[in-house]
């Protein structure tokens, strides 16, 4: 599989030794593995839940998760984020405005350490079916989206090493990459991207998010919560994701196997 790229600064790369059969190489091999660790989310000293995530860009993850899950309404309501590592995992200690913290204390969550958590502890069907905020889909040329699809792998350094993580990118209307974040979970990758966008001041109406996964309802939900108006995904959306995107005005496109794309909304 060739020489792996170096690990991110400050962390050792997890690896696994094995034996290859029947492919391009036969014999002993060493694979770089995707990192996955429990991350405890703590708001104003109160534990909120635990997620599994790749332990990179965790400050972006904390801010993006808080915005996407409507724990805070604006980046300015996040007063501080501190990341600490212990024997059992990572702790994201976040301090938010006191009135927001009071709302968080009343919410029950079911974040039981899953990187693939879809609904993240929604308590009732009424909450699930609540209308998403309306967004405005930007007018994008198909060529811009195709350009981003074609260049996506070149902007995913973690994937180049372990071939297993998801990517979420923010692209301008011309398809040029502005930001990329990666994680073992597609939801966490988008959370990290949302946090990075908020930190850097990117306008969620002036471009599109590119995702290396199918488009599930929860990705539409997170994007709509922060005003992202267009998602371009490698795989097709679920029927529920498409229904929700149409209802809130979000643009959706997915890649085709022959190198093209299909635009499904608006």
Q: Cβ of 15: how many Cβ atoms within 10 Å? A: 12
Q: Is 171 an annotated catalytic residue?
A: no
Q: Taken in order 10, 117, 138, 201, is the CA torsion positive or negative? A: negative
* 130 in Cβ contact with 224 (< 8 Å): no
Dump the DSSP string for 211-253.
ESS-B-HHHHHHHHHTT--EEEESSPBPHHHHHHHHHHT-EEE
Dump the DSSP string for 6-55.
PPPTT-PPPEEEEEE-SSS--EEEEEEPPP-EEEEEEETTEEEEEEEE-S
Catalytic residue among 117, 120, 215, 254: 117
Q: How far apart are the first and last CA of the chain?
A: 41
In terms of Cα–Cα distance, which of 167, 150, 145 is closest to 54?
167
Looking only at Cα atoms, what is the longest distance across the chain?
60
Q: Which residue has the tokens 């060493």?
A: 30
| Catalytic sites, residue numbers | 117
């Amino acid at each position: 599989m060739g020489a792996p790229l170096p690990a991110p600064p400050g962390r050792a790369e997890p690896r696994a030794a094995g034996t290859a059969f029947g492919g391009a190489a036969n014999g002993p091999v060493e694979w770089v593995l995707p990192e996955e660790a429990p991350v405890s989310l703590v708001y104003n000293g109160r534990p909120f839940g635990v997620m599994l995530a790749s332990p990179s860009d965790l400050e972006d993850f904390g801010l993006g998760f808080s915005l996407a899950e409507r724990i805070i309404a604006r980046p300015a309501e996040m007063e501080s984020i501190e990341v600490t590592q212990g024997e059992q995992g990572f702790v994201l200690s976040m301090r938010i405005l006191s009135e927001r913290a009071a709302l968080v204390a009343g919410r029950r969550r079911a974040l039981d350490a899953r990187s693939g958590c879809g609904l993240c502890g929604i308590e009732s069907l009424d909450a699930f079916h609540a209308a998403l905020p309306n967004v405005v889909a930007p007018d994008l040329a198909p060529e811009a989206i195709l350009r981003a699809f074609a260049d996506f792998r070149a902007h995913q350094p973690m994937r180049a090493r372990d071939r297993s993580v998801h990517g979420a990118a923010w692209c301008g209307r011309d398809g040029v990459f502005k930001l990329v974040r990666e994680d073992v979970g597609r939801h966490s990758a988008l959370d990290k991207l949302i946090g990075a966008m908020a930190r850097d001041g990117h306008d969620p109406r002036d471009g599109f998010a590119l995702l290396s996964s199918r488009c599930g309802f929860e990705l539409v939900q997170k994007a709509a919560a922060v005003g992202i108006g267009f998602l371009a995904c490698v795989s097709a959306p679920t029927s529920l994701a498409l229904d929700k995107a149409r209802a809130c005005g979000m643009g959706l496109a997915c890649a085709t196997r022959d190198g093209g794309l299909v635009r499904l909304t608006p």
